[in-house]
Each structure stands twice: as structure tokens, then as C-alpha cells.
Chains A and B, each alone.
Chain A
Amino acid sequence: MTQAQATGGYTPPSTFQRWKRRWLRSETLEGYGFAAPAVLGFLIFTAGPVIISLVLSMTQYNILKPPTFIGLGNYIEAFTDDSLFWKSVRVTLFYAVIAVPLNLVVGFLIAILMNQKIRGMSLYRTLWYMPAIVPAVANAVLWQWVLNPDFGLLNLLLGKLGIPGPRWLVVPNTAIPAFLLMNLWAVGGGMLIYLGGLQGIPAHLYEAVDIDGGNTWAKFRHVTIPMMTPVIFFNLIIGLINTFQVFTPAYVMTQGGPAYATYFYVLHLFKNAFQYLRMGYASALAWVLMVFILLLTAVVFRTSDWVYYEGGEANR
């Protein structure tokens, strides 16, 4: 007796049919449909160009003529035959080494101030955050005025205090400090994240310190900082990634000068791509930067034992 006979003429669906029916009936199709724009957008506008840039990084390509495959030639040239590459690496590293911790500390301190219960705090928070949403080019133009050594607001204020203001972007020694200062102005973005973290710290932890007779410093040292380490860690990673990609202020304000003092890595990349039309080489530079940031981030993750995750294991 066949199965059909045994079941009164009913043929049970095959595995494939069951799977197909279930897939069609379920919300899978809709799910993929709704996700499709984002997935396609990522594949076409992000993943695609990323892969193509990897291919181009192994070619000599000026857009005007078809690319010529040269293997690792561009990478070798960057490390062995491009003095501006190393110059830009030095400038960027120097900037990053100061900018990242400076922004972490200042952002944190301002967030603590903005977490106090005083009248008009919403206004202060808004004021601190506003520069973070000013477009980068507008920010650069604004700071051109602020940093003007003769007429600028900053030197005017320093003058009122009896301090002779430096020549800021005009001389090499003060160009990077000027950039650091400008970067601090937009610290509101990080501050907002810190503020969210601060407000998520349970009050009972502070009460426990009170009961133990701890003072304000003890609260800060033993509650605030440990509880904020995940947020500090997040801001550290984001800060590192952003700092190594500084471009707009250098492009708008100094073009890498004076005397290459602000010749950042991404400016070097841009010049190769769009001024010298060396798209292959610029792609290689982009990949070198990507790998460097990736490695740096991995190192930071590997050394993140200091980060406290509530409810988790020691550091996770």
C-alpha cells in the first residue's frame, strides 16, 4: 500500500514544499522586502566601492585611461618612496595623540558640569551641543575669523588679559594647537554621550558611598568613573577613528600649511586622488589608513580590561 493510499489520497508535501510554503507564509518575505533598501544601499554604495577601491589600489589609474594592474606597487611606494606620506603620518599621529585624550577628558568634565541640577541647565546643554551640529566647512570658516592673529576674537580676548596672542595658523608651531582648540569647540557630541551615561548611573551606588562615609571624590573615583568606563571606551574608539580622518579644516583653512604643519593624512590622500589624479595610489592610501585604524581599534579592544560592564564578566 502506498502512502497516498494509506492516507486516503493525500500526498504529504516534500521537505522543499514545506519549506517553501512556510517561507512564503511567514513574514520572511516581508522582512527581506523591508530590509532590501538598506541592504541594497549598503551593497551598492558602501560595500561595492570598498571592494572596488581595494582592486584599484593595485592599479595605476587616473580615470582618464583604463587602470593598469601593478600589484602591490602603490603600497610599496607609499612606504618607501613618498616623503609626504611619512610627513602626513607624523602630523596626523601627533595631532591624534593629543586630540583624543584631550577630547575625552574635556568632554567628560563638561558632561559632569552639565549633569548638575541648576536652573537653566537645558539651555547650557544646548549651547554646548550646538557647535557639534555645525557643518564642518562652516565651522572652519568661522574659526578662520576667530583665529585671525590681528582681528580675531581669540587674540582680542587674550589681549584683554594681557597675553600676546600667537599667530595661530600663520606659523607652524601654533597651527596644530589651533586645530586642537577648534576640535575642542565641537566636544559637545561626546559630551552628550557622557551625559547619557552619567544619568544612567544608579543613585543607590552613590548612597552606598554616603553610608560608607565617602566624600565627593570617593563617589567620583569609585562610582562615576567605573560606571562610565563603557561610555569612555565608546568615545575613545569613535574619537580615534574620527581623529585619523581629519580633513575638512585642513583643506579649507590651511591646505596643509604653513610648511606642511597641518598636512594631514587624508589631505594627502585627497590631493593624490583629485589634484594629481592618482586614484590607484589614493585607494592604496585609503586602505593603509583603514588597516591602521582597524589594528589600532583591535589593540584598544584587547587592552580594554579597564572597562566595567555591569552584569557581565570582569571586562565583558
Chain B
Amino acid sequence: MNEQPTKGKHLSRRSFLTALGAGGAAMAVAACAAPAAAPAPQAPVADAPTAEAPAAEAPAAAAPAAAAKVLNHMARHDFEAQRGALEEWNKSHETQIKMDEVVGDSWDYYRIKMMQQLAAGNPPDTVFTDVWYFRLYAMDDVFLNLEELIASDGEFKKDDLWQVCIENCRSPDINGEMYVLPYDYGTHVLAYNKKLFEETGVDPLDPTKELNWETDLLPLAMKFTKDFNGKTPEDSDFDPMRINQYGINPYNYLFWWFVDQWGGKCFNEDFTKSTMASPEGIAAIQYLYDIMNKYKVAPSPAYTQSQPISFSAGKIAMSIVATWDLPGITPEADFEWDVVAPPRGKVKIGDGRVSGQAIMSTTEMKEDAWEWIKWLSIGNGQNYKQAGGGAIHPVKAKARNDAFMKRTKSPYNMEAFLYEAELGGGPPLWKQWHYYIDLVPAELGRAYADEITVEEAVQSVDDKTDYLIANGKLP
């Protein structure tokens, strides 16, 4: 018996493909359609901060809100602060912000995503940016020069800010004008493990007394550096190949800070010549070399790059830490610890750095974008950052706020961070910094690896940096 056809129950291949093609075409058409209107904003809260969006200027609630898009980078521990700020903004402002969260600790990935959006012609209106790279964007007018907006704003005053917050957000070798508003500001201090101090019978560090790198810190670090047999570098049978606990992590990537502290300078005044190879500069790098290779009290940069060792793991007695490290260390460290002013060299100078918020020059919502980044920098948005405990308020007068100062967990001596902020100082940021920050650690690393001498490495830094200055690229 012939089988009856089952027409109508199954699609033929051709019908299936036709339907698939039609569906695809419909989706393509839908994708090209105008975007849906942003959700209507909620009515402004009566007691909401009004400085950013004065009630008199607010359009009627029924009017459709323009949606400003924001690409925002944040470290993992920072999501809470950013989301909290976003939520408050969207509740209290007419213009709604859409935030693109880029998960991950690496700036590289964030940068790639931002560039992809730029290349695709779909840039955000505002971005969170590191100070390492913003000069590139400023030079090519990707970021908006903020001077005009600052001048016309009655609330944002440069004089209110810490000096580093201004210096980091502009570049003297471009035009000296601000392209970024400070958002995430921090300084470097010395953290110490109280538990290890107690176990070693050493008194806790006195927050009122400053140590010297050579005469105080080094002998102290010798006491805490131990091999797996409990021997210290002062013992004749100390095994430098099996170190169980280091005395100090000086964060040697802060090479400019050490050069500054020893009385040297990485550049001349107008960034036209590299000057690290001065006797002072060489002495500073030699000190770093010595504590790693001669006295063995500090891990080398290659070690810290390739090995998961950290202060919070309890294997380093003292470490230079930054304000932005606190949200990471505090929950991880299961011991009491605190911070004091960092050890000093010949010149008393601090080291601070700030990441900030910038406006893309392509934005069609310049005013809204300004209000948003200003709100994050010095407005209520910054309060959420302060609550996270990992940043100094960019406005000097607001720095001693309760959220930052009154902590229930280690560290307690937050005054140390502010003292360093008062001292000022920071990296010699210039327009080729994105090359420079790669070049210098690599060259100095050759000395730390005993491939060349410190003097040769520092001279190599000068030679290659001068080439970079002259040619805009690495040799």
C-alpha cells in the first residue's frame, strides 16, 4: 500500500528556508529601526540634591527623557558604589543614565572595548578613564576639553581639589588643560602586619614617627624576612632560594617615586629629556636593587608579576599600599593591620594618582554629560565611592568625611593617606606615558635580573626615552 503523503504537517526544506529567510530579514529590519524611547523618568524626589538638576530647569515629567549612554569601568569591588550612584542619579534626574559595566580588573580589556566602540562609530557619552592613557585621547580630541565647562560652572572649582587631582587630569605637554574630572583618588602609604610584628616581638609602628628607607626600613625588613627554616638574612645559613616571608614589598613599579625621594627627576621641566640617570636616580634604583637582590628582603618585580604573593596573604610584613587597595585587602586579610606614613628618602614627597571621568567629544549631550561626571566627581555620586572606602574625596574640604575616616576594620589610621595627599607628588605623566610605563619596568627589570648593572639599566632608560621623545615610538 502506498504511503499517504503527509502534506501540511511538515515544512518542506524550501518552505523552511523561506520562513527562515523572512524571519532573518524581519529581524534585520527591526534592528535597523529607531531605538525605543527611554523609560519615562520618575518624578523628582522632593528632597533630592538639586545642585545638579535645578527644579526650575527640569522639564515636565511627561516629556520623554533623552538617554545618555555611559561606558564605565570599575574594579570588582567597586560595583556596589557605582550602581548605588547610578540608581540615585536616575531617581533624582531627568536624564537617565545607562551604564555599561565592564567586568574585570584589567584596564587592557576595558580599553579594548572602548576602542571597539570608537571604531564602530558608537562611542559612549562619558567614560571612566585611567590616567595612564587619557593623554592619547586628549591629544586626538577624543575627549572633550573641559575648561569651558569648568569656567561656566558655578559649583566646580579647581581650587577646591587636591593638587594631584588637577595635575593628573591634565597634561602639561599637551596644553595644560583638564580633560578629566577626578573620581578615584588615592595615595601610597606603608601597611604593616600587626600580627607578624607581635610574633616577632617588634613594637607596632608609631604613626607619629616617620621611617627612613635606608636606616630604619631596611633593618626592620631584615627582621621579618625568613626562609623556610625560620632563618633571617642576618643568619649565615639563610636560604635565599626558599623565602617563606618577605620583609617589605616596596611596589617597585613606582620607580618615579623612588627617584623623586632620592632627589632625582625622571624628566626635565618640559619633558624634552629623560634625566633618570643622575647620581640620585641611579642611587634610588640601586636601593631597590639592593633590597631585592643584595639583602633579599623584598620580592623582585618579576616575582610579584608572576607569583601570587600579597600582603593580604600574610606573607609580607610591610608593603606599600594605595588607597584603592583597601577594598581588596580588608576582606582578604584575616589579621590586624594598619598603615603609617611611608618611609622617606632624601626628599619628603608623597605619591598619589587619580582615575577620572571624561566626556567624549562626540557626545550630543554635553551639558548632561558634564552634570553626570561632575556629580560623580564632587557631588552625591562621590559619596558612594567614599562609602566603598577605597578613595580619597577629590575635594580637600570633604576628605575627612565619616565614611572614609571612621572604619570598623583595618586599617584605622586613614589620616596617613590624607597626609600624603597634602604632600602631593605623583607620576611624571606625559603624552607618551603609555609607552614609558612599559619601557621603564622592562629596562630596570634587566638590572633586577642581573643581566646588566643598575647604572646601565638607568642609562638605557634615558637613551630609549629620549628616542621616544624624538620619534614618538620605542626604538
Contacts and interface: CB of A to CB of B under 8 A. Distances in A.
A167 B300 CA distance: 11
A149 B241 contact: yes
B13 A275 contact: no
Contacts of B21: 33
A63 B119 contact: yes
A30 B112 contact: no
A30 B451 contact: no
A297 interface: no
Given A62-B140, A170-B303, A275 B434 contact: yes
Contacts of A254: 302, 305-306
B445 interface: yes
B73 to A, nearest CB: 15
A276 interface: yes
B308 A83 contact: no
Given A63-B115, A164-B241, A275 B303 contact: no
Interface in A86-142: 141
Contact of A277 (B115, B438, B449): B115
A29 B302 contact: no
B287 interface: no
A276 to B, nearest CB: 6
A233 interface: no
A306 interface: no
Given A147-B306, A277-B115, A170 B108 contact: no
A257 B302 contact: yes
Nearest to A33: B17
Nearest to A148: B307
Contact of B451 (A63, A141, A172): A172
Contact of B14 (A30, A257, A276): A30
Given A30-B17, A259-B451, A260-B442, A84 B474 contact: yes
Contact of A257 (B434, B445, B473): B445
A300 interface: no
A258 B474 contact: no
B112 to A, nearest CB: 5
Contact of A64 (B142, B305, B434): B142
B430 to A, nearest CB: 15
Given A62-B140, A144-B308, A257-B445, A169 B435 contact: no
Contacts of B435: 276
Contacts of B136: 62, 64, 277
A276 B244 CA distance: 38
A150 interface: yes
A302 interface: no
Contacts of B451: 172, 259
Contact of B13 (A30, A63, A170, A271): A30
Interface in B271-326: 300-303, 305-309
Interface in A28-84: 29-30, 33-34, 62-65, 81-84
A274 interface: yes
A279 B300 CA distance: 32
Interface string B375-418: 00000000000000000000000000000000000000000000
B302 A170 contact: yes
B463 to A, nearest CB: 11
Interface string A170-187: 111000000000000000
A178 to B, nearest CB: 9
A151 B21 CA distance: 59
Interface residues of B, number: 43
A258 B434 contact: no
Contact of A258 (B14, B243, B449): B449
Given A84-B474, A254-B302, A274-B108, A259 B446 contact: yes
A39 to B, nearest CB: 14
Contacts of A144: 306-308
B363 to A, nearest CB: 15
Contacts of A275: 108, 434, 438
Contact of A167 (B20, B241, B442, B473): B241
Contacts of A34: 17
B60 to A, nearest CB: 39
A223 interface: no
Interface in A270-304: 271, 274-278
B302 A169 contact: yes
Interface string A248-262: 000001111111110
A309 interface: no
B112 A274 contact: yes
Contacts of A271: 438
Contacts of B445: 257-259
Contacts of B303: 149, 170
A48 B2 CA distance: 52
A147 B302 CA distance: 13
A101 to B, nearest CB: 26
Contacts of B20: 33
Most buried by A among B21, B119, B243, B305: B305
Most buried by B among A27, A65, A84, A275: A275
B267 interface: no
A230 to B, nearest CB: 38
Interface string B16-34: 0100110000000000000
Contacts of A165: 241
A82 B306 CA distance: 26
A220 interface: no
Interface in A142-201: 144-145, 147-151, 155, 159, 164-165, 167-172
Nearest to B446: A259
Given A27-B13, A155-B242, A275-B438, 7 more contacts: A30-B13, A82-B475, A147-B307, A170-B300, A172-B449, A254-B302, A258-B449
